[in-house]
A = this chain, B = another copy of it.
Amino acid sequence: MNIYDIAKKANVSTATVSRVLNNPETVKEETRKKVQKIIDKYGYKPSHIARGLATNKTNTIGIMVPDIRNPFHANSAFLLEQNLVSKGYNSILCNTSEEPEQKLKYFELLNQKGVDGIILLGASYGDKVLEERFEELNKSISIVLINNIIGDNSTFVICDEKNGLDQSIGYLKSKDYKNPIYIQDKQKYITRASVSKKEGFLKAIKKYYPNLINENLILELKEDLEEYEKIIEFLKSNVEVDSIQFEKDTSAIKFLKVAQKYNIEIPEKLAVIGFDNIDLTNYTYKSLSTIDHKIEEHCNIAIDLLIKKMNGETVKNNNYIIPKFIKKETS
């Protein structure tokens, strides 16, 4: 059942059917009703593919996330998808991993599929090939980055991580914790957010703990239960350390498990703070103090920006969101 069939049965031209579908106000009520009746009767729905070819629009947005299994990404993808659907768009989800080649591959795929826009969530740091291709695509297709910056012309929404770290370390100071350290995730690819958090931590330490700066403030560890045993050892040989800021909640949550195993009293003997405020932080045996990334705000703004870009409007490229420290039970 296509537009010709409907036109024939309704005794009008395909143009009229098309108008009823897309600009009902431009067709006389009488014929409109006549056509609509046929449409309803046969349950006719226009093909998005044909429409896409004719209009060069697909009403489809590509969403690229590194890994949907990460609850932070899952939450983002969910919010993005729901918001897009409510605005008449639907979305192709891509798990790009952190590999630049994979991201590149998905860029090309989305481009070939004719998506109207792309939202790219998370990392991608310093890969020349990817950046070059991005710069090109960025001219012909609307792209908005979340938690990422690529080159000089990208539109991005990012979290002001440094501000978040200032809040959490300031809190530790106010609670008289003497010596915070920072656990950084050891990863194959360094990300902007990761660098920014680390710098934010050091800056906050300098501000709140001016006499503390030494090389041992930062441990770089794989996000892994066994690896985290090293933290226990570290704590034993650095008894003054009484608080830990993790790069993200998932890491902190894994550490809580290890800490429990060694009967470390949290928060009395050790404060633990995560970053992101994923839902899970409420379900650990002590709910995890964390820094709310305000992901929903990121997503909503990103979509607003994207839609404006797709409509040809110019938008502000640099968009920062201030996160918020949330005290729970581990600090």
Q: A93 on the interface (CB 8 Å rule)?
A: yes
Q: A257 on the interface (CB 8 Å rule)?
A: yes
A50-B53, A90-B92, A256-B283 are known; give 12 further A-B pairs, CB within 8 A.
Answer: A45-B112, A53-B53, A60-B92, A60-B113, A69-B78, A71-B71, A77-B93, A91-B93, A92-B93, A257-B284, A284-B284, A285-B285
Asked if B90 and A113 make an inter-chain contact with CB atoms under 8 angstroms apart, the answer reads yes
Q: CA separation between A260 and B283, bound complex, in Å?
A: 11
Asked if B95 and A92 make an inter-chain contact with CB atoms under 8 angstroms apart, the answer reads no
User: What string of 1s and 0s marks CB contacts (under 8 Å) between A233-267 and chain B?
Assistant: 00000000000000000000110110010000000
Q: CA separation between A113 and B47, bound complex, in Å?
A: 7
Q: CA separation between A254 and B254, bound complex, in Å?
A: 16
Which of chain B's residues has its CB closest to A93's CB? B93
Asked if B283 and A45 make an inter-chain contact with CB atoms under 8 angstroms apart, the answer reads no
Q: CA separation between A48 and B58, bound complex, in Å?
A: 11
Asked if A112 and B74 make an inter-chain contact with CB atoms under 8 angstroms apart, the answer reads no
User: What string of 1s and 0s marks CB contacts (under 8 Å) between A40-78 and chain B?
Assistant: 000001111110110000101001000111010011011
Q: A111 on the interface (CB 8 Å rule)?
A: yes
Chain B residues with CB under 8 Å of A187's CB are none
Q: CA separation between A256 and B253, bound complex, in Å?
A: 14
Interface residues of A in 264-294 (CB under 8 A from B): 279-280, 282-285, 287
Q: A98 on the interface (CB 8 Å rule)?
A: no
Q: CA separation between A314 and B54, bound complex, in Å?
A: 36
Asked if B78 and A68 make an inter-chain contact with CB atoms under 8 angstroms apart, the answer reads yes
Q: A160 on the interface (CB 8 Å rule)?
A: no
Q: A109 on the interface (CB 8 Å rule)?
A: yes
Closest 9 CB pairs of A and B: A93-B93, A285-B285, A74-B74, A260-B285, A49-B52, A48-B113, A49-B114, A48-B112, A69-B78
